[in-house]
Structure 1
Amino acid sequence: MTIWNLGSINIDMVYDVPHLPAPGETLAANGLTRGLGGKGANMSVAAARAGARVAHVGAVGADGRWAVERMMEYGVDTRFIAEVDAPTGHAIISVDAAGENQIVILGGANRALPGDLVGRALSDAAAGDMFLTQNETSVQIEAAQMARDMGLHIAYAAAPFDAEAATAILPFLDLLVLNAVEAEQLQAATGLAPGNLPVSDVIVTLGAEGCRWFGAEGEREFPALKVTAVDTTGAGDTFTGYVAAGLDRGLPMPQAIAQAQRAAAIMVTRHGTADVIPDLKDVQAGL
């Protein structure tokens, strides 16, 4: 099967800082790295490294050609990444000594997808494939409806969170992944707790505490593996990509979550985003 990921592609500018800056504070960084990022690209790379066949649907500007080449090197099908007349999306990321981060994102090309791009991509899809998206691109709702009509399984990572966007896509979803704050915001918008949402499977991530799954078995908690984090950037995307890949490969949800937790735990011990996502061999070998 194939995972069709309508997702963002960003250039990540990551600053190593002594602490996260306060409002009005000018702060000297200890270092800077540039890498491939964006929630969409991160999830595509994670799913590909987890053994799934992944086709990324998205856009970059002329300044992002290197990002497309790098995704291809990581095993992602990049045929449906368009080059548009807009700057490639980018993120300014500050990471402190404890691994916590602060992120500012420019959508750029991610919000300028050609109108026919999703249709051209999904013309190659088959019933039973998975369609994955996040809230960093345009045409998410239209694409989810198209994928649903074609018989694809629909997964959505509700970040960056927007109550209107999340509520609009809910009727099409089979799998929803969101963090605890996003779950509270969605409940405030819909009046529905995670276990009562009209979605077959809902996963609420809890950071260092693990995650909670609401599905066929009711509510089930999965404690996190204990590691020393140096950078939490991209850990949630790694988790989601691994869950999607596990389900695509036929794993039961508990096994897919457990494998994704191991991948995320390894991820937080590394500095960087898409470029340092662990592959399946790393994850199966354990921490």
Structure 2
Amino acid sequence: MPETSGVLIVGSINVDLTTFSARVPERGETITGDAFELQLGGKGANQAVAVARAGATAHMVGCVGDDVFGRLVTESLGTAGVDLQHVRTVPGQTGIAHIRVADDGDNDIVVVPQANASLDAAQLEHAFSALAGSARVLLTQLETPFAITLAAARLAREAGMTVILDPAPAAPLDPAIWPLVDIVKPNESEASLLTGIRVDSREGAIAAGRWFLERGAGAALITMGGAGSVLITAEGATDHPSIPVEVVDTTAAGDAYAGALAAAIAAGLPLEQAIRRAAAAGAIAVTRRGSSSSVPTAAEVDALLG
């Protein structure tokens, strides 16, 4: 890839504490699980790993605590090939996500941000200044303070970068964000929450996509699990099928998809091809347990598509 094909990821870095069981317990119920994993997580970190494994240079901007978990996650990010120059260690605890995964692959998650809340404007501005000219794409999410997400999008727009927003976890947003976003990538539930439009069909996805475009976004890419995804642009809507696989754990599927998408766009691939690679990365991720550990490499994506 050319030197300018890097991806700057502004986002969360967590430790994921994941339990696996036949089903999730009812309220007040205790059940026996089958397995437990502790590993690197957080939407920002997972997407940074996905970018690096897709073959692009991944520049992570985020915060970890000065606890044992902080050392664990930075070591994991470094092992994955992520640039850690702009990951800051702050006093206190590293972010935590408690994940419960059932046998059908569905999961629920409780996130405690901790150090992620310390990401600030000075750190962000230093990262953009240092990486000017070397990163083509900004990839960001909503697990860090929204003011920082908005500031990152503004800095990226000023730098001429492509801005990809994965609006998760979804929450009502300041409308100032939308004209700064080139591609917004929600799943159907996130699109429903953000737009107020029920997204349970292609028609609903198109209506929600137009909502984003009317507010200034360049394109909306709405993912719908096994039903594939729908890309909505000013030229119209196009369908992109999913790749059928046996689902084991959906925890990091969206992050694998987003990271592969960003890496492909940074490499200069047309959007249609970038979406196809993203779909393959997401498909592989759901066949494996875990968060960052489930993210595939470029070679694995090539093999699936080949």
Give the TM-score, by structure 2 length.
Answer: 0.88
Aligned pair 1:263/2:270, yes or no?
Answer: no
Distance in 2, matches of 1:91 and 1:155, equals: 23
Structure 1 residues 114 and 86, CA gap change in structure 2 (3 angstroms): farther
Q: Equivalent of 1:180, from 178, 181, 188? A: 188
1:62 offset after TM fit, Å?
Answer: 1.6
Residue 91 of structure 1 aligns with which residue?
97
Amino acid at match of 2:51: A
Q: Equivalent of 1:12, from 7, 12, 16? A: 16
Aligned pair 1:224/2:224, yes or no?
Answer: no
1:24 offset after TM fit, Å?
Answer: 2.6
Aligned pair 1:131/2:138, yes or no?
Answer: yes
Residue 44 of structure 1 aligns with which residue?
48
Residue 143 of structure 1 aligns with which residue?
152
Distance in 2, matches of 1:116 and 1:147, equals: 15
Alignment deviations for residues 228-277 of structure 1 (CA, whole Å, 9 cap, x no partner)? 10101100010011011111101111111111111111111111111231
Say if 1:194 and 1:214, in contact at 8 Å, map to a contact too.
Answer: no
1:25 offset after TM fit, Å?
Answer: 2.4
Q: Equivalent of 2:166, from 148, 157, 165? A: 157
Say if 2:172 and 2:194, in contact at 8 Å, map to a contact too.
Answer: yes
Q: Give 5+ residue unaligned stretches, structure 1.
A: none
Aligned pair 1:69/2:75, yes or no?
Answer: yes
Say if 2:209 and 2:232, in contact at 8 Å, map to a contact too.
Answer: no
Structure 1 residues 66 and 147, CA gap change in structure 2 (3 angstroms): same
Distance in 2, matches of 1:276 and 1:212, equals: 24
Residue 111 of structure 2 aligns with which residue?
105
Amino acid at match of 1:11: V
Say if 2:209 and 2:219, in contact at 8 Å, map to a contact too.
Answer: no
Q: Equivalent of 1:239, from 254, 257, 264? A: 257
Distance in 2, matches of 1:76 and 1:232, equals: 23
Say if 2:252 and 2:294, in contact at 8 Å, map to a contact too.
Answer: no
Distance in 2, matches of 1:194 and 1:133, equals: 17
Deviation larger for 256-265 or 184-193: 184-193
Distance in 2, matches of 1:87 and 1:68, equals: 13
Q: Equivalent of 2:86, from 80, 83, 87? A: 80
Distance in 2, matches of 1:259 and 1:123, equals: 30
1:136 offset after TM fit, Å?
Answer: 0.5
Q: Give 5+ residue unaligned stretches, structure 2.
A: 198-207
Distance in 2, matches of 1:195 and 1:114, equals: 29
1:199 offset after TM fit, Å?
Answer: 1.4
1:23 offset after TM fit, Å?
Answer: 2.5
Residue 201 of structure 2 aligns with which residue?
none
Distance in 1, matches of 2:114 and 2:281, equals: 29
Deviation larger for 42-51 or 23-32: 23-32
Give the TM-score, by structure 1 length.
Answer: 0.94
Distance in 2, matches of 1:212 and 1:226, equals: 17
Q: Equivalent of 1:31, from 32, 35, 55? A: 35
Aligned-residue identity in percent? 37
RMSD of aligned residue pairs (Cα, Å) = 1.9
Amino acid at match of 1:98: D
Deviation larger for 186-195 or 223-232: 186-195
Deviation larger for 125-134 or 228-237: 125-134
Distance in 2, matches of 1:67 and 1:169, equals: 30
Deviation larger for 24-33 or 228-237: 24-33
